């Protein structure tokens, strides 16, 4: 903490009390991978609290801070239907608040995501293994619903629509007309695979073929 | 009275003696009459108050205005609505007064304050990581009114007065919960560690300004740099303040404003 020369005059002393903004912070640009929802995300008040963007040295305070970040990231992604975060192209308003000129440092963003990837945190995110050996992962899936919950939802829909026994393509499951109103539409393919694998493990589905031509049969 | 004027001499003496005895007896009679009348009045009043609190138990619980008036009335007649709840012996004239009131007022008043005290303890525990054990009473009031997270309803509408009364009732727990005033604001301290004068002063300044820097403390409290740094380090170590390192000079904020308006 480098010292700046202190100004002894009282006029330099700010007497205005900090009054946090009570209006919802509306982002000017949005860069989401998937289509954004029609309503604006309601940023909780603590996103206007400057220290929120500094990784707290006190571990008790830090634990609470990480909890708040975890909640924010999860609800933000749920609202904007973001299934995957890429560190190189993060949404501009998630880890920054331009109104108060504060932003979470990249290293601290990683700390937050690491915290969210722990089992005791859900986990709420899952790092996508880097394609380059030895390199740190630079993107992660966000589980605003857990893989298990997605599996239940997907299978439930298949069951309700009488499609058990039929073979559906991954494309249909992700982007088909029939799933227009479903939560998992446009889900990141890698994540959808995880969901399908979970169903395979449960004995509820089987996957045929590879990559783009893969088909899934539900039992 | 004219009878005392006559009788000079020996006669007068005995007359006076007899009269004062008569007066004494008369006085005693009056006193016992009054005492009896008073006792009657009191027992009628006691019964009325008891019935009142029973029929309005719901209102006492749910309506803070009603409750405030009720408490004011109790205070006016010199009675603490919570008094005697811990008294084991509620019979007997001596120390039984409090217990008699508790019986009359019914358990509803006590229940309300004890439940409120439980909520206060819960809120303090939940927020300790964030604020180091110092939380504004107004903050507690908001959280208690909101109710327990995840549960619908169950919020308690309590005034500051109610909260302070509830905290008072926690004294038997060994002084874990104390009310401290900083910068004109009442705080509940739920950690045993007491603030030293310097720490209290800095928290007070933060309370008024929202945040401080070491320079601000030096300039306005006329402290040496080392002293200011020591106090700030202590407050950070006790998780009483949060740090903002993206300002020109590191700023130290009170967590109280973090959730305001939310």
Minimum-distance CB partner of B246 among A18, A46, A54: A54
- pTM (2 d.p.): 0.69
Q: Using CA atoms, how far apart are residues A137 and B95, in angstroms rounded to an integer? A: 73
A133 touches chain B (CB under 8 A): no
If you measure CA to CA, which chain B residue comes closest to A52? B244
Q: Using CA atoms, how far apart are residues A31 and B191, in angstroms rounded to an integer? A: 45
pLDDT tens-digit series, residues B205-224: 998 888 999 999 999 899 99
A14 touches chain B (CB under 8 A): yes
Q: What is the mean pLDDT of residues A137-147?
A: 93
B240 against B11, higher pLDDT: B240
Q: Using CA atoms, how far apart are residues B144 and B138, in angstroms rounded to an integer? A: 10
Q: How much is the pLDDT for A33? A: 41
Q: How much is the pLDDT for A36? A: 47
Helices of type H across chain B: 10-55, 57-62, 64-76, 97-105, 107-131, 137-146, 160-168, 197-209, 214-221, 225-237
The SS3 assignment for A20 reads coil
B46 against A29, higher pLDDT: B46
Q: Do A61 and B247 touch (CB under 8 A)?
A: no
What ipTM was reported for this prediction?
A: 0.75
φ, ψ of residue A140 in degrees (nearest 5): -150, 150
Residue B98: band (very low, low, confident or very high) from pLDDT cuts 50, 70, 90: very low
Minimum-distance CB partner of B236 among A13, A50, A57: A57
Q: Do A102 and B246 touch (CB under 8 A)?
A: yes
Q: How much is the pLDDT for A27? A: 41
- Mean of all residue pLDDT scores within chain A: 83
Q: How much is the pLDDT for B97? A: 45
Q: How much is the pLDDT for B86? A: 40
Q: What is the mean pLDDT of residues B18-27?
A: 80
Q: How much is the pLDDT for A94? A: 94
Is pLDDT at A189 greater than 70 in this prediction?
yes
- Mean of all residue pLDDT scores within chain B: 78
Q: How much is the pLDDT for B146? A: 84
Q: How much is the pLDDT for A151? A: 94
Q: Which of residues 95-124 of A touch B (CB under 8 A)?
A: 101-103
Q: How much is the pLDDT for A29? A: 40
Q: Using CA atoms, how far apart are residues A126 and A218, in angstroms rounded to an integer? A: 26
pLDDT tens-digit series, residues A99-128: 999 999 999 999 999 999 998 888 899 999
Q: Which residues of B touch A65 (CB under 8 A)?
A: 242
Q: Using CA atoms, how far apart are residues B224 and B198, in angstroms rounded to an integer? A: 12
How many beta-carbon contacts under 8 Å exist across A and B? 100
B216 touches chain A (CB under 8 A): yes
φ, ψ of residue A179 in degrees (nearest 5): -105, 15
Percent share of chain B, pLDDT over 90: 27
Is pLDDT at A152 greater than 50 in this prediction?
yes
Q: How much is the pLDDT for B102? A: 55
Give the H/E segment covering residue A208: strand A205-208
């Amino acid at each position: 903490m480098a010292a700046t020369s202190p100004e002894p005059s009282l006029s330099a002393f700010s007497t205005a009390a900090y009054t946090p903004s009570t209006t919802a912070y509306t982002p000017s640009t949005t860069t989401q991978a998937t289509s954004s929802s029609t309503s604006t995300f309601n940023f909780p008040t603590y996103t206007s609290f400057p220290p929120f963007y500094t990784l707290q040295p006190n571990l008790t305070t830090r634990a609470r801070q990480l909890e708040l970040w975890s909640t924010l990231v999860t609800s933000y992604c749920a609202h904007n239907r973001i299934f995957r975060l890429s560190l190189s192209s993060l949404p501009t308003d998630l880890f920054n608040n331009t109104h108060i000129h504060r932003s979470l440092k990249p290293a601290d963003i990683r700390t937050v995501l690491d915290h969210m990837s722990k089992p005791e945190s859900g986990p709420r995110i899952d790092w996508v293994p880097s394609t380059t050996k030895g390199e740190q992962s630079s993107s992660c899936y966000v589980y605003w619903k857990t893989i298990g919950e997605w599996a239940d939802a997907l299978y439930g829909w298949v069951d309700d629509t009488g499609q058990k026994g039929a073979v559906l393509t991954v494309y249909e499951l992700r982007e088909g007309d029939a799933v227009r109103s479903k939560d998992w539409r446009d889900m990141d393919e890698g994540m959808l695979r995880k969901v399908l694998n979970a169903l395979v493990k449960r004995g509820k589905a089987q996957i045929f073929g590879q990559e783009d031509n893969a088909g899934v049969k539900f039992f | 009275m004219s009878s005392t004027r006559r009788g000079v001499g020996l006669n007068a003496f005995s007359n006076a003696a007899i009269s004062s005895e008569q007066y004494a007896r008369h006085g005693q009679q009056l006193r016992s009459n009054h005492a009896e009348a008073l006792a009657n009045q009191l027992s009628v009043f006691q019964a009325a108050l008891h019935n009142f609190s029973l029929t309005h138990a719901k209102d006492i619980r749910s309506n803070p205005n009603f409750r405030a008036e009720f408490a004011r009335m109790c205070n006016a007649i010199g009675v603490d609505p919570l008094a005697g709840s811990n008294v084991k012996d509620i019979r007997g004239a001596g120390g039984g007064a409090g217990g008699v009131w508790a019986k009359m007022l019914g358990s509803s008043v006590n229940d309300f304050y004890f439940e409120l005290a439980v909520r206060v303890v819960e809120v303090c525990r939940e927020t300790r990581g964030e604020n180091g054990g110092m939380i504004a009473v107004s903050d507690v009031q908001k959280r208690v009114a909101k109710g327990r997270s995840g549960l619908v309803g169950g919020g308690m509408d309590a005034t500051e007065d109610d909260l302070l009364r509830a905290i008072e009732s926690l004294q038997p727990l060994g002084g874990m919960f104390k009310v401290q005033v900083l910068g004109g604001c009442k705080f509940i301290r739920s950690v045993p560690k007491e603030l030293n004068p310097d720490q209290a002063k800095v928290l007070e300044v933060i309370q008024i300004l929202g945040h401080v820097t070491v320079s601000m403390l030096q300039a306005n409290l006329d402290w040496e740099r080392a002293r200011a740094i020591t106090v700030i380090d202590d407050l950070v170590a006790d998780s009483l303040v949060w740090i903002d390192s993206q300002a020109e000079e590191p700023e130290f904020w009170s967590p109280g404003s973090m959730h305001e308006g939310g």
